[in-house]
Amino acid sequence: MSETAATNRDALEALWMPFTANRQFKSNPRLLVAAEGMHYVTADGRRIIDGTAGLWCVNAGHGRRRIVEAVQDQVARMDYAPPFQMGHPLEFDLATRLTAILPGDLDHVFFANSGSEAVDTALKMALAWHRLRGEGGRTRLIGRERGYHGVGFGGISVGGIGSNRRTFGPLLPGVDHLPHTHSLEHNAFTRGQPEWGAHLADELERVVALHDASTIAAVIVEPMAGSTGVLIPPKGYLERLRAICDKHGILLIFDEVITGFGRLGGGFAAERFGVVPDMITLAKGLTNGTVPMGAVAVRRKIHDTFMQGPESAVELFHGYTYSGHPLACAAALATLDVYRDESLFERALTMEAEWQEAVHALTGLPNVIDVRNLGLVAGIELAPRPGAPGARAYEVFVRCFETGLLVRVTGDVVALSPPLIIEKGHIDQAMDVLAQALRSVG
């Protein structure tokens, strides 16, 4: 099948691909057929370095035996169990394991199947929580420009990427957005967190003044914005958001779908930045990308508010057929074992200096107008080609793929987020390929 698809245009036709220029792709397809460790294998048999951990999710690298076998064992033992008014041991084990590594008193976990579902779940919980406490007027949700919170109607409403919103109607009412924190003028070529920009959190005070705190349920941000092109939070910014939320009784949600599970060093961005939110949304690295799974972790006070009233009453009218799916739980438990036994959450920190030097060595190459990095993430921003935004970065992406490296592009930003098992040799190889691509695309 893969060979057919690779060579026969008709074999590609039936699939409508997500977030993809379908016709462009189908005229020059890029098919992956196998993966192991730091590498993918393409349909034409080439090994390419995975510079993106799949799509920010394969943090422990590909084809990990322990995870594969856990999923194989589980599918043979019990393929599925209904999650409503029924349970299976693995989902309880997994929730317990997660609360042991989550920061602060984020000690209850609700399962979904993707980041998008986790986000919509968290937003609904925030609204329901305020209502239960007699503050049902708190219905506004505040996101941030350039934020990405998946593709559900809740997620695109609080999200701030115009192209993901503009064709889909009025979206959720009562949503407002903070300004994004990106500024080439102040922060270009910063290593790690920029000094400039903490004051942008004060915009939340303006939003509060405009709408009144009594109407605002929650603020949701990615602690480090990934999908929009790697925006590193300025020093002090998240701390200020936390303080302003506390002052006004607003819940703070960190969307850690990308930053969770070691990407920035430490288990979660909340730890790296020393800011504990009221809820954390998770997905991706939770199962190392092997089986779809999302989750929302909530602080004790939120969970406990729901656990009142008659014991026979359903506390939250929300859930998915596949919440806590046995295969996803098996994958996640094995993934957590791998992260722990290989100390992978610490690895982003131990590799950070080397990674930082390597990516900043791209400074000065044609059209590179910014390099930014944190943990095992980097964004390389290119000057857009006049009249053709995104075209230059797309060509870099294609050139890299053809010459041995998978990168991700969004607009004119090349984003890198390799598996946390990356070694110096892979970094050197990846940077050679990328540098060559930047030179040749021009």
| Closer residue to ligand PXG (CB): 144 or 240 | 144
- Residue 150: CB minimum distance to ligand PXG, A: 3
Among 50, 91, 176, 222, binds ligand PXG (CB under 6 A): 222
| Closer residue to ligand PXG (CB): 194 or 294 | 294
Helices (H) and strands (E) in the chain, counts: 18, 15
Cβ proximity of 185 and 200 under 8 Å: no
Using CB under 6 A as the binding rule, whether residue 290 contacts ligand PXG is answered as no
The residue whose two tokens read 């050197």 is 428
- Residue 95: CB minimum distance to ligand PXG, A: 19
- Residue 300: CB minimum distance to ligand PXG, A: 24
Using CB under 6 A as the binding rule, whether residue 226 contacts ligand PXG is answered as yes
DSSP state of 316: -
Query: What single letter denotes the amino acid at residue 291?
Result: V
Residue 82 burial (10 A CB sphere; 0-12, 13-18, 19+): exposed
Among 74, 157, 164, 227, binds ligand PXG (CB under 6 A): 227
Q: How many chain residues touch ligand PXG (CB under 6 A)?
A: 20
Using CB under 6 A as the binding rule, whether residue 348 contacts ligand PXG is answered as no
Region of residue 291 (left: phi > 0; alpha: psi -120 to 50; beta: else): beta
- Residue 148: CB minimum distance to ligand PXG, A: 5
Sign of CA dihedral 155, 158, 163, 167: positive
Using CB under 6 A as the binding rule, whether residue 381 contacts ligand PXG is answered as no
Within residues 90-119, the interface with ligand PXG by CB under 6 A covers 114-116, 119
Among 408, 414, 419, 441, binds ligand PXG (CB under 6 A): 408
Among 410, 413, 418, 437, binds ligand PXG (CB under 6 A): 410
Cβ proximity of 28 and 394 under 8 Å: no
| Closer residue to ligand PXG (CB): 50 or 255 | 255
Both structure tokens of 200: 């942008």
- The strand pair at 47-50 and 405-406 is best described as parallel
Three-point CA angle 418, 422, 428, nearest 5°: 90
| Closer residue to ligand PXG (CB): 67 or 208 | 67
Using CB under 6 A as the binding rule, whether residue 372 contacts ligand PXG is answered as no
Both structure tokens of 179: 């300004």
| Closer residue to ligand PXG (CB): 146 or 299 | 146
| Closer residue to ligand PXG (CB): 334 or 409 | 409
- Residue 53: CB minimum distance to ligand PXG, A: 11
Greatest C-alpha distance within the chain: 67
Among 33, 55, 68, 75, binds ligand PXG (CB under 6 A): 55
- The strand pair at 294-299 and 32-36 is best described as unpaired
DSSP state of 338: H
End-to-end CA distance of the chain: 36
Within residues 132-161, the interface with ligand PXG by CB under 6 A covers 148-150
Using CB under 6 A as the binding rule, whether residue 355 contacts ligand PXG is answered as no
| Closer residue to ligand PXG (CB): 155 or 404 | 155
DSSP 238-270: HHHHHHHHHHHT-EEEEE-TTTTTTTTSSSSHH
Query: Stretches 3-11, 222-230, 351-359, 397-405: which one binds ligand PXG (CB under 6 A)?
Result: 222-230
Please choose, from the candidates 57, 40, 102, 105, the residue with its C-alpha nearest in 3D space to the C-alpha of residue 328: 57
By beta carbon distance, the residue nearest ligand PXG is 115
| H or E stretch at 41 | strand 39-42
Gyration radius of the chain's alpha carbons:
22
Query: Stretches 189-197, 221-229, 328-336, 374-382: which one binds ligand PXG (CB under 6 A)?
Result: 221-229
Instruction: List residues binding ligand PXG (CB under 6 A).
Output: 19, 55-56, 114-116, 119, 148-150, 222, 226-227, 255, 257-258, 283, 408, 410, 415
